[in-house]
């Protein structure tokens, strides 16, 4: 290696490091944009046959935003409704200050000035809120900037995705057939995670949530969301929610509803996992449950929330890379220009 090449490689390393520092604060949003772009890109390719890439990308971005905002509004509305019902159940007549003070004095023998206590508590809470307001404002600003960046990246990943792929293929020092094999295996891993685990988790969590809703379990919308997340982890799944829900119904005296929820969850929810997962996963790439568990848990620590998706993908990509190397290594070793 001569001095010019060494200097150029040093510049690349320097600017790559600086670029990494720039993107790390927004890594969650960048990974999210890449994931959504990957899912929507096949639709982008079909739409480009009938309209310009810019219009197609803009429409898909609007669709993605709606797909995020609408469920968020539904969850917020459900939580607000639960909070309103909770407040309506409170009997305000029993919370008169004088009666509370008298009850406390009868039980403890001490006189308590509740208005003063509440005023001091409110002052302390106000001080904490005021002290943390700067941190909260900074966090909210970071989220808004990150979401804006994700939308911006999503648009250009869809609009210029073909150019990006061509550029990556040009820079990759591998023969075209090896690249084709690698990208095909990586594509299989991505769809195995998305379709075989994420999609099944959404279906399974939603089916289990319908059982909670039908049996009158409180906050069914929230627990449905929790079950969808838990269903991403093999061997754990939605049982961590519907199991305690069955116990809750039994303890409250609704034995018939408890038995109904138990039977529904074991049969319907269980069958949805036993039958749908093999059908969908076998269509793409088979991933061992241990890979999924390690990928999900390790991915959350490494990438945060997006690690639920990217953790298994990273391990699957490693397996795909090793398979490509095993198939082509001997030929690449003798390939001209590869030594």
Report which DSSP code applies to 113: -
Tens digit of each residue's pLDDT (9 = 90 or more) over 119-136: 666 566 566 656 666 777
In terms of residues, how long is the chain? 339
More confident residue, 325 or 277: 325
- Looking up tokens 């795909």, which residue turns up? 320
Angle at 120 between CA 101 and CA 99, to 5 degrees: 10
- Determine how many CB atoms are found less than 10 A away from the CB of residue 5: 9
pLDDT digits (tens, 9 = 90+) for 197-234: 777 888 888 888 888 888 888 777 778 888 888 887 76
pLDDT, one tens digit per residue, over 74-121 is 766 765 665 566 555 544 444 455 665 566 656 666 666 656 666 666
Contact 291, 193 (CB under 8 A): no
CA distances for 47 relative to 44, 57, 136, 239, angstroms: 5, 9, 41, 41
CA distance 233 to 184: 25
Number of Cβ atoms within 10 Å of the Cβ of 205: 25
Counting other chains too, the contacts that 166-170 makes at CB distance below 8 Å and 24 or more residues apart are none
Which residue has tokens 């490091």? 17
**pTM, 2 dp:** 0.68
| Range in 10-24, 250-264, 291-305 the model is least confident about | 291-305
- pLDDT, residue 91, reads 46
Over 60: is that where the pLDDT of 185 sits?
A: yes
Residue 309 in tokens: 């998706």
The tokens for 299 are 């991915």
Average pLDDT of the chain, as a whole number: 77
Tell me the backbone φ, ψ of residue 216, rounded to 5 degrees.
80, 25
Rounded mean pLDDT of 58-73?
A: 81
Each residue's pLDDT tens digit, 22-61:
888 888 888 888 888 888 888 888 888 888 888 988 999 9
pLDDT for the residue numbered 94: 44
């Amino acid at each position: 290696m001569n001095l010019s090449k060494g200097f150029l490689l040093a510049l690349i390393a320097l600017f790559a490091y600086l670029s990494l520092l720039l993107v790390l604060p927004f890594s969650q949003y960048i990974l999210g944009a890449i994931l959504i772009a990957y899912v929507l890109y096949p639709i982008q390719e079909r739409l480009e046959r009938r309209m310009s890439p810019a219009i197609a990308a803009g429409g898909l971005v609007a669709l993605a935003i709606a797909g995020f905002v609408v469920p968020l509004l539904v969850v917020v509305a459900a939580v607000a409704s639960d909070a309103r019902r909770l407040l309506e159940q409170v009997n305000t007549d029993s919370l008169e200050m004088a009666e509370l003070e008298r009850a406390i004095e009868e039980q403890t023998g001490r006189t308590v000035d509740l208005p003063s206590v509440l005023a001091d508590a409110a002052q302390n809470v106000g001080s904490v809120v005021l002290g943390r307001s700067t941190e909260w404002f900074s966090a909210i600003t970071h989220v808004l900037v990150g979401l804006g960046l994700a939308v911006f990246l999503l648009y250009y990943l869809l609009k210029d995705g073909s150019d990006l792929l061509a550029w990556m293929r040009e820079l990759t020092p591998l023969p075209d057939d090896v690249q084709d094999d690698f990208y095909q295996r990586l594509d299989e891993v991505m769809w195995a995670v998305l379709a075989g685990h994420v999609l099944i988790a959404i279906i399974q969590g939603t089916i289990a949530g319908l059982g909670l809703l039908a049996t009158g379990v409180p906050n069914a919308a929230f627990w449905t969301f929790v079950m969808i997340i838990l269903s991403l982890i093999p061997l754990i799944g939605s049982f961590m929610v519907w199991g305690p829900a069955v116990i809750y119904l039994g303890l409250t005296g609704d034995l018939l509803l408890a038995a109904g929820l138990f039977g529904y969850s074991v049969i319907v929810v269980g069958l949805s996992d036993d039958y749908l997962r093999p059908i969908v996963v076998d269509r793409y790439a088979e991933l061992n449950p241990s890979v999924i568990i390690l990928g999900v848990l390790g991915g959350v620590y490494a990438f945060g929330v997006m690690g639920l998706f990217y953790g298994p993908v990273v391990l699957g990509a490693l397996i795909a890379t090793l398979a490509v190397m095993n198939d082509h290594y001997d030929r690449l070793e003798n390939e001209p220009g590869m030594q």
